[in-house]
């Protein structure tokens, strides 16, 4: 899949995640593409990055990612509360990072503050064409 096609798929997945979260709670996070490119020395893999912006009090719906996706998440600003699988919920602040293994269930992903925004950079190493990148859960 060409990087521009992957970017289009990513935008569609981001819109789905945002629309689902908006229907379940307000305010919702916004997801924006940041980078997408095939990893030339690892055939069949791509690197995709998205920015997740959380207004004060915002949260993502519980979700999982593409089955092949290994995710590195870096808190750019603010504080993000996260729980992956059955691990403990933890608050990460600007400059801290966590990861998600392929097939993980992201149970909690939200701004830890009711008064300040937060931003997360999520970097996916994923099989090229493995979509959707994000699937919300009820």
pLDDT digit string, tens, across residues 22-76: 445 558 999 999 999 999 999 999 999 999 999 999 999 999 999 999 999 999 9
The CB density around residue 138, as the number of other CB atoms within 10 Å, is: 6
pLDDT value at position 20? 46
Task: Please give the backbone phi and psi of residue 93, each rounded to the nearest 5 degrees, phi first.
Answer: -110, 170
Ramachandran quadrant class, 116 (left: phi over 0; alpha: psi -120 to 50; beta: rest): beta
Using alpha carbons only, what angle is made at residue 12 by residues 11 and 18, rounded to the nearest 5 degrees? 85
User: Among 75, 111, 116, which residue's Cα sits nearest to residue 93?
Assistant: 75
């Amino acid at each position: 899949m060409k990087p521009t096609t992957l970017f289009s798929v990513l935008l569609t997945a981001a819109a789905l995640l945002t629309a689902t979260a908006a229907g379940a709670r307000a305010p919702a996070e916004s997801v924006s593409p940041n980078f997408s490119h095939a990893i030339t020395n690892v055939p069949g893999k791509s690197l995709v990055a998205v920015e997740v912006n959380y207004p004060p009090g915002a949260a993502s719906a519980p979700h999982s990612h593409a089955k092949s996706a290994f995710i590195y998440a870096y808190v750019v600003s603010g504080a993000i509360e996260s729980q992956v699988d059955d691990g403990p919920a933890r608050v990460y602040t600007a400059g801290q990072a966590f990861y998600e293994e392929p097939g993980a269930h992201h149970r909690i992903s939200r701004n830890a503050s009711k008064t300040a925004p937060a931003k997360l950079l999520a970097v996916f190493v994923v099989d090229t064409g493995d979509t959707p990148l994000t699937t919300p859960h009820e």
